[in-house]
Amino acid sequence: MVRERVVVVMAFAVATLATSLLPPLACQAAPAPCERPTRGHHQYRQPVGVRRIVVDASGGGDFLSIQQAVNSVPENNTVRVIMQINAGSYIEKVVVPATKPYITFQGAGRDVTVVEWHDRASDRGPDGQQLRTYNTASVTVLSNYFTAKNISFKNTAPAPMPGMQGWQAVAFRISGDKAFFFGCGFYGAQDTLCDDAGRHYFRDCYIEGSIDFVFGNGRSLYKDCELHSTAQRFGSVAAQGRHDPCERTGFAFVNCRVTGTGRLYVGRAMGQYSRIVYAYTYFDSVIAPGGWDDWDHASNKSMTAFFGMYRNWGPGADAVHGVPWARELDYFAARPFLGKSFVNGFHWLTPDV
C-alpha cells in the first residue's frame, strides 16, 4: 500500500496535465512520448528439444508430486519439459522458479487433474509474519514460457464473509512472461488468479471466485473463457493494476462469459491507469448497478482508467454501461485488444507450447 500511495501522487501530476489538455478518459494520451522496448525484446527464444516426464500421485510415474518434478529440471533449462500430470489430487504448494523456463503442465482434464492448497493472506509463514496476498498462491510461476493445459488450480481456503480481512487466497500466480493456458480451471474466492506481470494468453479457461478474482498488472488476453462469480452480496471480476500511462498492460476479455451470483462489478481500478476491455462477451443478469468501480473515489481513477466495451451481449450487457467513464469502443479503438497481437502472441505462441 505504501508503494501504491507514491504512485498515486506521481500519477496525479500526470493526470492534471493530461486532463487540462484532453477530454477525460484519454488515458492513452501520455503527456510525454512513451519509450518503446528495444528491438529484439519480443524475440522468441526457442527451446532446443523436448523432454517428457510423468507425475502420478498414485506412484505410476517418474514423480509423486509436481514440486519434485519441477525440482528435477536443471537451472537455466533450455528444453521444453512436458510434465504429464496424471489424474489425481495434488495437495501441495508449488513454485516454478524464474531460472526454469519452458515448463508445461499437461493435465489429464481440468475435472480430474487438480492441484490445491489452502493458504490465506493472514496466515503466518515460517518467519512468523503474515503471508500477504501474493504469497498465498497454491501454484506460483516465476519463469518465462510456462504452459498449462487441461489442469485445475485451487485454493480451498473457505470463502470470506463480507467485510472479513485477510482472507485473500490465491489459487495461481503467474509472474513470468509469455505464458499460455489452455483448458485450465482456476478456483478460489477472493483473489483467485493473480495475473501479476508479463504477457499471457488464456484460452478456454474457467475462472471462479468472488472478489477481484482476476487481478494484477499483467498484459493478458482471455479468449473464450468463463468468469464465474460465487459472490453472495457484492463481488467483482477483474482488478487491473496498470499504474502508468506508458505501461502496455491490461486485461482483454474476448468472447467470454460472465456468470454466477452477484451483484457483480466487472472491473475495478486497482491501478491509477487500470485498463480492462470486454469484447464479444456474454453478461448474465448479475451485474451491479454501474457495472464498474473506481476503487476508492478519492484518487479519481475514473478520470484515468481505461474501461472499454465492444459488442457485448446478454441480459447484463446494458448494466455494464452504467457509468459514463466506461465506454463503448468503436472498432478502431477495440482492435488492439481483440487478438493475439495484444500479447505479441505471433512471436511466441508457436505450435510447440
Ligand X SMILES: *[C@@H]1O[C@H](CO)[C@@H](O)[C@H](O)[C@H]1NC(C)=O
Site for ligand X contains 206 (CB under 6 A)? no
Residue 149 vs 275, nearer CB to ligand X: 149
What grid cell was written down for 346? 505471433
Q: Which residue is nearest to ligand X (CB)?
A: 109
Site for ligand X in 132-151 (CB under 6 A): 149-150
Q: Which of the residues 195, 212, 284, 293 is marked catalytic?
A: 212
Site for ligand X contains 104 (CB under 6 A)? no
Total interface residues for ligand X by CB under 6 A: 11
Alpha carbon dihedral 264, 265, 266, 271, in 10-degree steps, equals -150
Q: Catalytic residue at 212?
A: yes
Burial class (CB in 10 A: 0-12, 13-18, 19+), 209: buried
Site for ligand X contains 199 (CB under 6 A)? no
Among 7, 12, 86, 224, binds ligand X (CB under 6 A): 12
Alpha helices (runs of H) in the chain, residue ranges in sequence order: 2-21, 66-71, 331-338, 345-348
Residue 75 vs 330, nearer CB to ligand X: 75
Residue 76 vs 165, nearer CB to ligand X: 76
The number of beta carbons lying within 10 Å of the beta carbon of residue 347 is 15
Residue with cell 495475473: 195
Q: CB of 299: closest distance to ligand X in angstroms?
A: 5
d(CA 67, CA 82): 14
Site for ligand X contains 182 (CB under 6 A)? yes
Residue 10 vs 34, nearer CB to ligand X: 10
DSSP assignment letter at 90 = E
Among 183, 314, 322, 339, binds ligand X (CB under 6 A): 183
Q: Taking CB under 6 A as the rule, which mask of x and - marks residues 45-84 in contact with ligand X?
A: ------------------------------xx--------
d(CA 192, CA 299): 26
Alpha helices (runs of H) in 246-329, residue ranges in sequence order: none
Site for ligand X contains 339 (CB under 6 A)? no
Residue 284 vs 294, nearer CB to ligand X: 294
Site for ligand X contains 325 (CB under 6 A)? no
Q: CB of 273: closest distance to ligand X in angstroms?
A: 13
d(CA 56, CA 38): 43
In the chain, what are the helix, strand and coil shares in percent, each to the nearest 5? Answer: 15, 35, 50
Q: CB of 125: closest distance to ligand X in angstroms?
A: 27
**β-strands 214-216, 193-195: how paired?**
parallel
Q: CB of 235: closest distance to ligand X in angstroms?
A: 26
d(CA 217, CA 244): 11
Nearest to 14 by CA among 286, 210, 300, 206: 300
Site for ligand X contains 127 (CB under 6 A)? no
The residues of the shown chain that bind ligand X, judged by CB under 6 A, are 12, 75-76, 109, 149-150, 182-183, 298-300
Catalytic residue ranges: 212
